[in-house]
């Protein structure tokens, strides 16, 4: 099956509706499509073609959206680069994806300066070639590629197809409803599935996106009260700060506002109650890059009786626990549905992501009697810090590369501002200054991944087969 | 791709929501699923299996829904029989579809008495076998088969797959929006795509259906004012009568009511304006059995400036005019999308329904500059009478079978109550009484298809190749 080109069709059907708003500016679907076609002509002039693999590095602003929509029109595969990554991490992703082009927001050019970047300012100046958008998009076309790490510490490039994004958008609408005048506030990164999926929903629904360059609790609170937006995506730590801003102000949440979609782990019931008192419905979600955003959702109404649950799957999706149908019994969480990635690219291209039609998440959880999912251990002891996923193995790998370090173990520790932050434990070969070790890490890790503490220990907790027990590390805090 | 079983999944996700309401009774999704599973056990005991082809003949009431949902659970192909058809017409459809079983509402048993019917009352008495619903539904599984006629006068059985119904439900939601507490008033026949698609939307959305046994303008008007329903499907002639009832009463339409979906040809702008004054938004739709309900929709807001238009396609669909891209130029209307039937069954099983991925409707129309579709001639001079499609060729064929009739031509003439009714013109071999001719037709045609007038003429209007010009017949009225 194929889809009509989402941008062209959306423009044809509801061209006059607001597509994007940023600060005081607004663009309708017709306008944004016209701009995107213009950019597509310029990118074509620069040699970008259908199926070109194009890495993009940008801050969250309209030009990023224009460039992405141009790439959609041309039929590129977009490698979404995280602007917070260290240069070495970006280099790995650009190499691994074998990107044909690297499109870069000027303010970030130092991050990729030796990668022959095409700067946004340069793209703008190019004389466009004539350009005709593809009329049909194949279902299995790769729209986006996002890197995510795992147990090994080597980030894997996850393919997300048109069908993945479409079924994600539709399943979300079937769950929470949708009205043609909905507007989604996006203050989460566009290069993450959390933000990118808002753009996909915008095109599929004909829904407006109110874009913030970055998350600011006060600004978000104001928007929720202004009546300009109906939905917002966030992670738990953002919720508390937005709520506090509303509670401490004279403002009230607009009756037009419908719901917050909150990812990145369970939200304390106290927050849900506070949100409820503010008139905000909070939907807790469980999902990952490989499932193109949310797979299960917990309704606000169920939050109190199902504390810690991630809810139930969306209509098209199925979830089960590996090897058991018994309520309460723990096992690996398996996911089935059209939102699941067909696989990885680059050095992990051969890795099968599904076994017998089921995606193995690596997360451990259980179902209760009523079929509510509870996630007990995130895969690979994942640390979720301010909405960013941090894999301990990635940090350990860097620490171990230093000659003074014999063994390294990293785990997440609670943090008021970010939810969790990484903490490191090291067994040393010889004395070394903590700052020197951090400096060593700095060039190779995004700053949010730098261990917030490094403690020397005599040995690390390991099991019989010598596997590091990161959960025991946690107890040391 | 496959779907989770819609009934089981819907019950798992929103089992406590209202699924069906009829008079004073209500059933949640859990309840209706439980009842359907019970019926499935009984039908299994009677020999019905996955892939059994099951013809169903029933009036619109909950038991019909229970039986259909049981068939969905088992994995049957349901041949939806129209209770208004004459016995000979029903016999044709049962034969052509080679139905393995004929399930019949007791009050209709005389219509199919020599077809070994399984009466609903008998089904109820059967001791059920143990039954486990299918967990997955394949996308290309045939859910329903509906007969529709054409130029030849031989009704063709149209396959409608799970994907057809799913994409129709989703496309409609993306167009008009959807909220989890929506309730659709169904007073159109469940055996037609207009009514059946409401059930499909109910399962896919988790939406309630308020079922009326038959259309009653006053009752419908009351429901729109009661706040019990948010949507209603109808044809144009029904709209005027509902509006009149509201206007002549003390009632006002509930603010909860959202929209009327109106099919069966353009609605006079005067009605749209009257509806608007009552606070009702009317969405005019164009679709057919082969496209599993609506393909294009005209928004209320566009009705006045686009008088007579059928609007624009839904998000997943595309419409074009055969052989031309020029606005205003007429040609056959072609349709592309996942809602288009994969084909017919029975004696038309070999007929290809798509050429190069496009379904040829047989309808003639054009697009205006802005891409709005205008249907100029319905295929085969289709007569739409009170929501039923009548194909002139079908009536002509019956008339011609009478020895006194040498030639016959049928066309639609305007009628206040039904929109259109069929009128016949005959060239006779010998004198015959009109009543005798009508009696002859009665056993072979549903009563709504009986010509409301039969006039003798000396010759019929024909073109050079002797093809009957039904449009010229119309001018004779």
Query: pLDDT value at position A466?
Result: 67
Number of domains in chain A: 3
Are both B194 and B343 inside the same structural domain?
yes
What pLDDT does residue B380 have?
63
Q: How many CB atoms lie within 10 A of CB B464?
A: 5
Q: Taking CB atoms and an 8 Å limit, are B10 and A180 in contact across chains?
A: no
Assigned domain for B410 exists: yes
Domain final position from B352, B380, B408: B380
Q: How far is B205 from chain A (nearest CA, A)?
A: 6
Given a cut of 70, whether residue B15 has pLDDT beyond it is yes
Q: What span, in angstroms and rounded, lies between the C-alpha atoms of A85 and B227?
A: 54
- Note the pLDDT of residue A276: 93
Give yes or no: residues A110 and A193 share one domain: no
- Which DSSP state fits A266? P
| pLDDT tens figures, A389-414 | 888 888 888 998 899 998 899 999 98
CATH number of the domain that residue A417 is part of: 3.30.300.30
Do B82 and B214 belong together in one domain? no
Q: Compute the distance between CA of residue B277 and CA of residue B300 in angstroms, rounded to an integer.
A: 12
Burial status of residue B350 (CB atoms within 10 A of its CB: 0-12, 13-18, 19 or more): exposed
pLDDT at residue A231, as a whole number:
98
Question: Residue A235 maps to which CATH number?
Answer: 3.40.50.12780
* Shared domain check, B346 and B205: yes
Of the partner residues B3, B173, B371, the one whose CB lies closest to the CB of residue A178: B173
CB contact under 8 A, A371 and B9: no
For residue B403, is pLDDT > 70? yes
- Of the residues A381, A406, A431, the one at which a domain ends: A381
Residue B322, CA distances (Å) to A143, A249, B32, B366 in order:
31, 61, 45, 9
Query: Which chain B residue has its CA at the smallest distance from A8's CA?
Result: B315
Residue B236 lies in a domain: yes
Range of the domain at A398: 383-475
CA-closest candidate to residue A246, choices B418, A197, A386, A257: A257
- Residues facing residue A335 across a β-bridge: A319, A359
Tell me: pLDDT of B377 over 80. Answer: no
Give dist(CA A375, CA B210) in Å, integer: 38
Residues of B in contact with A12 (CB under 8 A): 312, 371
**Tens digit of each residue's pLDDT (9 = 90 or more) over B229-277:** 999 999 877 898 999 999 999 999 999 999 999 987 778 888 899 999 9
Grade residue B473 by pLDDT with cuts at 50, 70 and 90. confident
B215 and B304 inside one domain: yes
Contacts of A205 in chain B (CB under 8 A): 174
| Residues of chain A neighbouring B206 (CB-CB closer than 8 A) | 174, 315
- Same-domain check for residues A290 and A421: no
- Per-residue model confidence (pLDDT) at position B227: 96
Shortest CA distance from B12: residue in chain A? A371
Query: Is B98 among the domain residues?
Result: yes
Contacts of B176 in chain A (CB under 8 A): 180
**Has residue B150 got a pLDDT over 70?**
no
As given in the structure block, the two tokens for residue A253 are 């949440």
Same-domain pairing of B350 and B419 = no
User: Is some CB atom of chain B closer than 8 A to the CB atom of A206?
Assistant: yes
Do A334 and A249 share a structural domain? Answer: yes
Tell me whether B316 touches chain A (CB under 8 Å). Answer: yes
Note whether B350 and B435 are same-domain residues. no
pLDDT in tens, B80-89: 999 989 999 9
Across residues B52-71, what is the average pLDDT? 98
Domain-ending residue, one of B104, B122, B138 = B138
Q: Verify whether the Cβ–Cβ distance A173 to B176 is below 8 Å.
A: no
Taking the CA of residue B176 and the nearest CA in chain A, the distance in Å comes to 7
Residue B157 included in any domain: no
Burial B90-99 (b: 16+ CB within 10 A, else e): bbbbbebbeb
The answer as to whether A145 is a domain residue is no
Q: How far apart are CA A88 and CA B267, in angstroms?
A: 64
User: Residues B207, B340: one domain?
Assistant: yes
Asked if A174 and B173 come within 8 Å (Cβ–Cβ), the reply is yes
Residue A174 lies in a domain: no
Interface with chain A: mutation pick from B7, B302, B315, B338, highest number of A CBs within 10 Å: B315
Rounded to a whole number of angstroms, the distance from the CA of A320 to the nearest CA of chain B is 13
Who among B12, B177, B315 is closest to A13 (CB)? Answer: B315
| Contact: B10, A316; criterion CB under 8 Å | no
pLDDT at residue B136 tops 90: yes
Cβ of B177 within 8 Å of Cβ of A174? The answer is no
Mean pLDDT across chain B: 92
Q: Which chain B residue is nearest to residue A163, measuring alpha carbons?
A: B1
Question: Are B223 and B358 in a shared domain?
Answer: yes
Looking at the fold, whether B263 and B348 belong to one and the same domain comes out as yes
With a cut of 70, which residues of chain A have pLDDT below it?
A: 150-153, 379-380, 464-466
Contact with chain A for residue B9, Cβ under 8 A: yes
On whether residue B48 sits in a domain, the answer given is yes
Interface touch A1/B170, C-beta < 8 Å:
no
CATH code: domain of residue B93? 3.40.50.980
Record: contact B313-A13, CB cut-off 8 A:
yes
Whether B343 contacts chain A with CB within 8 A: no
Nearest CB to A180; choose among B13, B170, B177 = B177
SS3 category, B79 = strand
A145 touches A159 (CB < 8 A): yes
Q: How far apart are CA B339 and CA B316, in angstroms?
A: 9
In a domain, B116, yes or no: yes
Query: Which residue, among B6, B177, B305, would best test binding to A if mutated, counting the most A CBs under 10 Å from its CB?
Result: B177
Interface check for B395 against chain A (CB to CB < 8 A): the answer is: no
> Which residues, numbered 17 to 56 in chain A, qualify as contacts with chain B under a Cβ-Cβ cut-off of 8 Å?
none
Cβ contact B180–A177 (<8 Å): yes
Secondary structure of B6-58 in the HEC alphabet?
A: HHHHHHHHHCCCEEEEECCEEEEHHHHHHHHHHHHHHHHHCCCCCCCEEEEEC
């Amino acid at each position: 099956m194929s889809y009509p080109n989402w941008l062209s069709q959306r423009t044809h059907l509801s061209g006059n509706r607001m597509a994007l708003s940023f600060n005081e500016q607004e663009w309708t679907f017709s306008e944004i499509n016209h701009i995107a076609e213009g950019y597509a002509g310029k990118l074509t002039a620069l040699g970008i073609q259908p199926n070109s693999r194009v890495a993009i590095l940008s801050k969250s602003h309209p030009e990023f959206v224009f460039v992405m929509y141009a790439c959609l029109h041309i039929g590129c595969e977009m490698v979404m680069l995280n602007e917070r990554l260290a240069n070495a991490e970006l280099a790995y992703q650009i190499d691994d994806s074998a990107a044909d082009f690297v499109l870069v927001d000027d303010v970030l050019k130092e991050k990729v300066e030796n990668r022959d970047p095409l700067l946004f300012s340069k793209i703008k100046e190019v004389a466009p070639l004539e350009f005709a958008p593809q009329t049909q998009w194949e279902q299995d076309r790769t729209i986006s590629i996002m890197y995510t790490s795992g147990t090994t510490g080597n980030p894997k490039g996850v393919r997300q197809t048109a069908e993945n994004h479409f079924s994600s958008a539709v399943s979300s609408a079937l769950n929470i409803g949708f009205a043609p005048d909905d507007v989604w506030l996006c203050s989460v990164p566009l290069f993450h599935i959390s933000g990118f999926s808002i753009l996909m929903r915008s095109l599929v629904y004909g829904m407006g996106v109110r874009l913030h360059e970055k998350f600011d609790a006060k600004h978000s609170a104001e928007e929720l009260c202004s009546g300009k937006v109906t939905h917002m995506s966030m992670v738990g730590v953002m919720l508390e700060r937005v709520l506090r801003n509303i509670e401490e102000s004279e403002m009230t949440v607009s009756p037009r506002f419908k719901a917050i979609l909150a990812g990145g782990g369970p939200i304390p019931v106290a927050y849900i109650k506070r949100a409820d008192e503010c008139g905000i419905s909070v939907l807790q979600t469980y999902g990952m890059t490989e499932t193109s955003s949310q797979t299960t959702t917990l309704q606000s109404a169920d939050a109190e009786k199902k504390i810690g649950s991630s809810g139930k799957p969306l209509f098209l999706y199925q979830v089960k626990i590996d090897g058991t149908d018994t309520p309460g019994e723990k096992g690996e969480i398996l996911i089935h549905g059209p939102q699941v990635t067909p696989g990885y690219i680059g050095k992990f291209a051969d890795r099968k992501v599904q076994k017998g039609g089921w995606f193995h998440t690596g997360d451990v959880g259980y179902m209760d009697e009523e079929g509510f999912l509870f996630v007990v251990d995130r895969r690979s002891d994942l640390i979720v810090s301010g909405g960013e996923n941090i894999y301990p193995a990635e940090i350990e790998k860097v620490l171990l590369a230093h000659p003074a370090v014999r063994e390294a173990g990293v785990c997440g520790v609670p943090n008021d501002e970010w939810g969790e932050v990484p903490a490191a434990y090291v067994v040393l070969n010889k004395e070394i200054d903590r700052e020197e070790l951090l400096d060593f890490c700095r060039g190779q890790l995004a700053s949010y991944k730098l261990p917030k503490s490094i403690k020397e220990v005599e040995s690390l907790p390991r099991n019989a087969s010598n596997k590091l027990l990161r959960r025991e590390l946690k107890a040391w805090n």
